[in-house]
Chains A and B, each alone.
Chain A
Amino acid sequence: MACTRITPRMSALRTAGAPTLLVARRGFATSRVDLANTLVFLEHKKGTFNPAALSALTAAQKLGGDVDALVVGSESEASEVADKAAKLPGLKKVLFSKHADFANNLSEPLAPLIKKIVESNSYSHVCTGHTAVGRDIFPRAAALLDTSQVSDIIDLEGEDTFVRPIYAGNAIATIKATDKIKVFTVRGTAFDAAAQEGGSATTEEVSPDSVESLTTFVEEKVSESSRPDLATAPRVVSGGRALKSADNFVKYIEPLADSLNAAIGASRAAVDAGYADNALQVGQTGKIVAPELYMAIGISGAIQHLAGMKDSKTIVAINKDADAPIFQVADLGLVADLYEAVPEMLEKIKK
């Protein structure tokens, strides 16, 4: 069988000691001799890797074969971030590229860079997190590579077979990608984030061909918060339309979240009504979260909202309406007026 053949790459890895990689590879290599050769685009912000990018790295390692990473940044930061990436376990090589226009992840210069790197290194797979940045850059790169991208995968069943949610997560599709190069984005909550220590990859600079500044970055308005990040927090407290005002959102949702050291989320209705910031929206078109504990307060549970949170480990719903659809997915439901139940809960948690 082809799968038992030891390629030079495999033996190199074996001596480098990567037992988990080998196990994963045996699982997938039964029908093909050539192994995945994967590039992971590691999105970072000022040197901090995006958790979804680290989940993409875990997914890439599940493919077996070599995994390299690409980091980009401004002239001053790129090589430093590459050194940091070299410590991520399981990476063979970290490619880095620097340019003033790379700091803000603009897709116009980055998509051709990805195309160039993928083609010149013959990568069979290229992936990143399904984040705002990954969603922006990757389809453009895929089109340049004439490849049909696979978005937001939640599992992989082989080198070419991916599992992804469709229709707001109401159906799960398993698809086989027939393109030579597989371009995919990875749902952060579906794979554990890779560890950040233990590796010792080499680093190598790649200079971009020519950077086309079709778009210029002006500024970013990111809401600073001392609370945990919504996408990765172990606990999330979310408020819906029933909060009735932005003041009530602050008065009822924030203290409860703080007492649980939880991130704050909101339904689309609450965001549209102006009770909460856009960046807090959980759902099909907002953030997808899968925390240990998700508390839905005054949220009815429309399918678009459920799409963003139904993979949470424990879902708690507090709603006045006993027939609200949220109770169909909640592990623990309390039919009660939130204006009474939330303060009571806050008081009793403090005890």
Chain B
Amino acid sequence: MRATLVNQLRVLVPVKRTIDYAVKIRVASDGKGVDQNVKFSMNPFDEIAVEEAVRLREKYKDDITKITVVSAGPAKTADVLRTALAMGADDAIHVEIPDKALAGPLEPLGVSKILKEVITKAGEEEEVGLVILGKQAIDDDASQTGQMLAGLLNWPQATYASKLEFPGGKVEKGAEAQVTREIDGGLGIVKTKLPFVMTTDLRLNEPRYASLPNIMKAKKKPFKKYTLKDLGLEDAVKPRHETIKVAEPPKREGGAKVESVDELISKLKEAGRI
């Protein structure tokens, strides 16, 4: 057992169950969403977030007590939490929201409110001092949750991170962190202090695969369940957006092939493109 000191840090990693990135999605027949009878997996940016938390603990063994993964959604959401546990997280919190419990999908604002409450509840055991999220979910492509959570907590935020360093060599409350961020046109470097919220960019790391023994071990790790009622959020997370319709994007005509470079150039010239 690791000793629990006041200064030690608990890392929270929110993960989302999304349609697998390789699935070619189809618009549902009711025109209100997309076909859900497909393969789901952990949002790729969240895998990077879990990986970063695990690597951080590998590097700062004595400073980080616990990596807690959390997800909100229907019963099947437990699958992605198990995956995160198999990657190296210590315990999981599932905020169970039955299908159709809300009048629409849970929005980033609702998720950030849930996370804030989860952080409060988790803090009753051990204070959460770092939250690492993916930069966006590949389903709604919103890119909001991390920033919203940081705003609600009034914590600093370091979004689109491609590198996280602790120049002081310690990861504890008040420790300074340096984060390299992917910005338009290049990189931006910022300094901030724990506690803060970070969102991961693609290039932060290469997530590991969960090994079979670790998948087996993950089944025995602590797994907590909360309902919205437990968190006092039944009304606060109601959707504010109403989906009027979801449609296929306009199809590109295309597919015409040319035989030679000459033909390509002459067609581009005809079209006035070169």
**Is A209's CB within 8 Å of the partner chain B?**
no
Given contacts A170-B25, A214-B192, A260-B274, contact A148 B152 (CB under 8 A): no
Q: Is the CB of B258 within 8 A of A332?
A: yes
**Is B142's CB within 8 Å of the partner chain A?**
yes
Query: In the bound complex, what is the Cα–Cα distance between A127 and B27 (angstroms)?
Result: 28
Across the interface, which residues of A come within 8 angstroms of B158, CB to CB?
A: 215
Of the candidates A132, A138, A167, the one whose C-beta lies within 8 Å of that of B183 is A132
**Is B136's CB within 8 Å of the partner chain A?**
yes
**Is B120's CB within 8 Å of the partner chain A?**
no
Q: Which residue of B lies closest to A144 (CB)?
A: B151
Q: Mark A207-250, 1 if CB is under 8 A from B, else 0.
A: 00000101111111111000000010001000000000000000
Majority DSSP secondary structure for residues of A touching B: mixed
**Is B182's CB within 8 Å of the partner chain A?**
yes
Q: Is the CB of B25 within 8 A of A279?
A: no
**Is B140's CB within 8 Å of the partner chain A?**
yes
**Is B271's CB within 8 Å of the partner chain A?**
yes
Across the interface, which residues of B come within 8 angstroms of A108, CB to CB?
A: 156-157
Across the interface, which residues of A come within 8 angstroms of B109, CB to CB?
A: 142-143, 146-149
Across the interface, which residues of A come within 8 angstroms of B226, CB to CB?
A: none
Query: In the bound complex, what is the Cα–Cα distance between A341 and B258 (angstroms)?
Result: 12
**Is A98's CB within 8 Å of the partner chain B?**
no
The interface stretch among A57-65, A116-124, A172-180 is A172-180
Per the 8 Å Cβ criterion, residues 226-285 of A in contact with B are 231, 235, 260, 268, 272, 277-279, 284-285
Query: In the bound complex, what is the Cα–Cα distance between A102 and B153 (angstroms)?
Result: 21
Q: Is the CB of B21 within 8 A of A304?
A: yes
Majority DSSP secondary structure for residues of B touching A: mixed
Given contacts A148-B240, A292-B273, A344-B261, contact A310 B252 (CB under 8 A): yes
Q: Which residue of A lies closest to B183 (CB)?
A: A132
Given contacts A166-B246, A171-B246, contact A139 B240 (CB under 8 A): no
**Most chain B beta carbons < 10 A, residue from A106, A151, A272:** A151
Across the interface, which residues of A come within 8 angstroms of B138, CB to CB?
A: 167-168, 284
Per the 8 Å Cβ criterion, residues 227-274 of B in contact with A are 239-249, 252-262, 264-265, 267-268, 271, 273-274
**Most chain A beta carbons < 10 A, residue from B27, B244, B262:** B244
Query: In the bound complex, what is the Cα–Cα distance between A151 and B156 (angstroms)?
Result: 21
Per the 8 Å Cβ criterion, residues 51-110 of A in contact with B are 104, 106-108
**Is B62's CB within 8 Å of the partner chain A?**
no
**Is B24's CB within 8 Å of the partner chain A?**
yes
**Is B8's CB within 8 Å of the partner chain A?**
no
Query: In the bound complex, what is the Cα–Cα distance between A168 and B27 (angstroms)?
Result: 13
Query: In the bound complex, what is the Cα–Cα distance between A173 and B191 (angstroms)?
Result: 37
Given contacts A152-B141, A217-B188, A314-B273, contact A171 B261 (CB under 8 A): no
Q: List 27 A-B contacts (CB under 8 A).
A: A50-B184, A104-B188, A107-B150, A111-B151, A135-B143, A136-B157, A139-B145, A140-B147, A148-B107, A148-B108, A149-B109, A151-B142, A161-B244, A166-B139, A167-B34, A178-B240, A215-B158, A215-B190, A221-B187, A223-B186, A285-B136, A293-B273, A303-B24, A304-B21, A315-B252, A333-B254, A334-B260
The 3 closest A-B pairs by CB, nearest first: A148-B240, A139-B144, A214-B156
Task: Taking A179-B240, A221-B187, A331-B253 as given, write out 18 further A-B residue pairs in contact, using a Cβ cutoff of 8 Å, ordered by the A residue number.
Answer: A107-B147, A107-B150, A133-B183, A142-B151, A150-B241, A151-B141, A173-B245, A178-B241, A214-B192, A217-B189, A219-B188, A268-B202, A277-B186, A279-B182, A284-B138, A287-B184, A315-B254, A345-B261
Interface residues of B (CB under 8 A from A): 19, 21, 24-25, 27, 34, 107-110, 112, 135-136, 138-152, 154-160, 162, 178, 181-193, 196, 201-203, 239-249, 252-262, 264-265, 267-268, 271, 273-274
Interface residues of A (CB under 8 A from B): 50, 104, 106-108, 111, 131-133, 135-144, 146-152, 161, 165-179, 212, 214-223, 231, 235, 260, 268, 272, 277-279, 284-285, 287, 292-293, 303-304, 310, 313-316, 327-336, 341, 344-345, 348-349
